Amino acid sequence: MEINKETMKVEEINLIKDFKIALKDMEPYVKDPNFLIKGKPFVNFSLRPREAWANWLLCVVLRQLNGERITFAEDPYGDGFIVDKNTGRIIQTEHVSALENLFDELPKGEARIIKRINLKIEKGNEYAKNKWLVVFFDGAGIVYRNKIRENIKGRHNFEVVYCIGLLTSDKSGYSYAITEFKDSHGDKSISFKVEINNDFTDWEVSQIIE
């Protein structure tokens, strides 16, 4: 069925219904970073592994704040939809990768993230209109949120920019930081940590206070 993204309804798209099942399904892709760096779209879900994983991480934070009405869906036009099942609101996401790889040498720190955001800003205001930008990164080292916020504030037309970065990966599991940059927050940025146990059966979300 062909879907018109301007008039689509929640019941017309393939939603993630069970976040625990989705987490377990993502385990092999997360544990082998090559899948996240260069993985092709899933056969039965029109997203790349890194897009699906970043949307899962973002949504578990949003569900912590807003309840289980928040989920995500595949997107034949782009990088996934964030969906509010109660209101029917469907938000298109645009993703950009700042993951370590052998083909694109990236700077460290916040410069890595800003460089990738700039690629999307250069596409213009119409491209960004009504979308959320998701930057997925690792290997950046120390990142200063205030420097990202100051650099991008007022320069883009995305509704919000989310930066999702790997904090740790070891025998106890994985942890990620999810930071929201929104001009209406003024001089503040809000960050959360998602901790996933090593067998990918459960997770915890907490706010990072700095």
Is the confidence at residue 40, as pLDDT, over 70? yes
Is the confidence at residue 3, as pLDDT, over 60? no
Rg (CA), the chain: 16
Quickly state the pLDDT bin for 184 (edges 50, 70, 90).
confident
Q: At 11, which amino acid appears? A: E
pTM of the predicted protein model: 0.92
DSSP state for residue 12 in the 8-state scheme: G
- Find the DSSP H helices in the chain: 19-31, 33-38, 49-66, 110-121, 125-128, 145-152
Is the confidence at residue 6, as pLDDT, over 70? no
The pLDDT score that the predictor gives to residue 120 is 98
Residue 19 token pair = 């976040």
Q: What is the average pLDDT across 177-206?
A: 92
